[in-house]
Amino acid sequence: MMSEFTPYPRSRDAFTVEVADRGDVVIVETTGELDLAADPLLGATLAQAEALGRPVVADLTAVSFCASCILGQLAAAATRLSAAGQELVVATEAYVVRRPLSLLGMDRYFTVVPDVPAALAHLGRSAAAPATPEPSRLEPDPN
């Protein structure tokens, strides 16, 4: 007798990935379930943010699931940013993100802080500067 399989109900908006260009730092804001479906979008967004030539904060404070492919995207972004003389800072207190980062030793390759204000403080930026979301209009820094 075969049991009936009911897949986990997935909402249309299971995850979001957006960019806030602050001028001195780029914040990649994510929410929800970062799984294989989110992988290409997050990778492309991180690459777009890196191209601006500024430090990048990956805001994972509102993430409820984080697949290993997402950790790979973070590691790749950190490597590329470091080679360009910039830094990736991951902002999260979410156990679903921090635990695998710690177990895999990935927290040695980039800074992990509890939230975006702590990330900005780490980078020497003010949390008071306004963030302007412009996910489709990011341009590389001409300087």
Q: What is the pLDDT of residues 7-53, one digit of tens each?
A: 444 455 699 999 999 989 999 999 999 999 999 999 999 999 999 99
Q: What is the CATH number of the domain that holds 55?
A: 3.30.750.24
Residue 60 lies in a domain: yes
- Half-sphere exposure for 12 (CA within 13 Å, toward CB): 0
- Judge whether residue 84 has pLDDT over 50: yes
Residue span of the structural domain in which 102 resides: 16-125
Residue 82 lies in a domain: yes
Q: What is the pTM of this model?
A: 0.80
Residue 132 lies in a domain: no
Of 132, 12, 137, 120, residue with least CA distance to 56: 120
Task: Give the DSSP per-residue string, 29-60.
Answer: EEEEEESTTTHHHHHHHHHHHHTTTS-EEEEE
Residue 76 lies in a domain: yes
Q: Are strands 56-66 and 88-91 parallel, antiparallel or unpaired?
A: parallel
96-102's contacts with Cβ under 8 Å and 24+ in sequence apart are 96/63, 96/64, 96/65, 96/66, 97/60, 97/63, 97/66, 100/66, 100/68, 100/71, 101/71
Residue 35 lies in a domain: yes
Reported as a single tens digit per residue, the pLDDT across 72-83 is: 999 999 999 999
Domain count, the chain: 1
